[in-house]
Amino acid sequence: MTPESIANAIAAVVTSLGTLVGIASRRRRWRNEIRENLSLVEELSNNPLLSNHTPAVAWLTGKIALDVAKLSGQPLGTPKKPISWSNVFFSSIFAIGFGCWTYVLNKEEFVWYSLFPGIVTGLMLLSLLGSFVNREIPPGSENELPDGAHPVRTGDASEEISRSVALQALGEGGRYDEGGQVGVAYRFFSHMKAGSFDEASQLVDSNWLLCRIQAWLWDNRERLGGALEVLTALADEMLQNRGDHDLWLEFTTSEVAAFHEAWGHLDPDTLGGASRRRRVARDYELVVLAPVGESGGYYVNSATIVPGALTFLMRRHEGRWAVASHLAAVPPTPGFPPTWWVIGDPSIEELED
């Protein structure tokens, strides 16, 4: 064989090996697996048994999201503190120095005072080890969680990604949309916290608004006229005319002050909605908003008292969700005074037997 033919053969072999290595590379395998899984998701979605009665689509969709994140180089782990190389350097120097001293002292035979440099050597080795282990940064507000709660951010970012994708795939994500149960409750709280009663009143059930008006009229009955006929007529007029009524501004100002006093210590940016769906009736659901601080959320494995949690009864009416009650798991009952179904209501306590 001529040198030219040998060179061509070697080039062909090297090219073939390079092609094989490229096909077998991890990134190439990830791409192929993602393509195959996407096709499989479509097949599973068309299978009524698997798509409607099992979370198979959610599982596979979550895996695809994780593979794409890895392929694009997104970090998927707990953030870690940087290694203190100055500590590594000095700990290494002291460990080597005191270790050599200990060796020299015990070269011929063991001497008891060699324990002192030996202890220093051991401490330096522990300090050196500590520079490389337990560097994970815990959630910032983990100490703010209630007893029995565990932070969602456990350090496994892949778990968070797959969980969020699973919620969407299972159809639970709509509860957190702007028009969903949790979304409406959160918007209502935000408007009331900001003092925007008129905007908040657009998100409530008409029965709730009527009862709030009746409660305010009852508290001011002596000034407005104590006859129930008069109060009933005023309540109907205020509910119908709202901003055009002479008493509306006074009513809304009082409501804003009352809600600010009750919710003023809560920050909307630190509230999270409970993920478990709590259905009360065909068109009624309970929504729980609880403070999560900066932890990103938490989960509980047993009954847990959550300080500062807000419970809203939501009603679906005419295709939209609205706040039916902010105090109890049942809608308030209109009347003078209205019944909010809570213990300790001052208006109820002062009624005659």
* pLDDT tens digits, one per residue of 114-167: 888 889 888 888 888 887 777 666 554 444 555 544 454 444 555 554 455 544
**Do 341 and 193 belong together in one domain?**
yes
For the segment 219-253, what is each residue's pLDDT rounded down to a tens digit?
999 888 778 999 999 999 999 999 999 999 999 99
Q: 206 and 276 share a domain? A: yes
| pTM exceeds cut of 0.85 | no
Residue 27 is assigned to a structural domain of this protein: yes
> Do 300 and 173 meet the contact criterion of CB atoms below 8 Å apart?
no
Cα-flanking dihedrals φ and ψ of residue 189, to 5°? -60, -45
Residues 256 and 344 in one domain: yes
Cβ–Cβ < 8 Å for 37, 63: yes
Per the domain annotation, does 333 fall within a domain? Answer: yes
Same domain, 224 and 299: yes
Distance, in Å, from the CA atom of 271 to the CA atom of 144, rounded to the nearest integer, reads 13
Pair 241, 309 in one domain = yes
Domain that holds residue 39: 3-71
In percent, the amount of the chain with pLDDT more than 70 equals: 75
Residues 54 and 203 in one domain: no
Residue 34: closest CA among 80, 73, 71, 84:
71
Domain count, the chain: 3
Say if residue 34 is in the same domain as residue 115.
no
Residue at 104 is within a domain:
yes
Band the pLDDT of 2: cuts 50, 70, 90: low
Q: Is residue 154 part of a domain?
A: no
- Whether the pLDDT of residue 298 is over 80: the answer is no
184 and 265 part of one domain: yes
67 found inside a domain: yes
Q: Do 115 and 29 reside in the same domain of the chain?
A: no
Instruction: Return d(Cα 255, Cα 193) in angstroms, integer.
Output: 11
Cβ-count burial of 324 within 10 angstroms (0-12 exposed, 13-18 middle, 19+ buried)?
buried
Question: Same structural domain for residues 200 and 320?
Answer: yes
Q: Is the pLDDT of residue 202 over 50?
A: yes
Peptide bond into 337 cis (omega under 30): yes
Whether 118 is covered by a domain: the verdict is yes
Q: Is the bond leading into 331 cis (omega within 30 degrees of zero)?
A: no
Is the domain of 211 the same as that of 307?
Answer: yes
285 shares a domain with 211? yes
| Whole-number Å distance between alpha carbons of 325 and 218 | 19
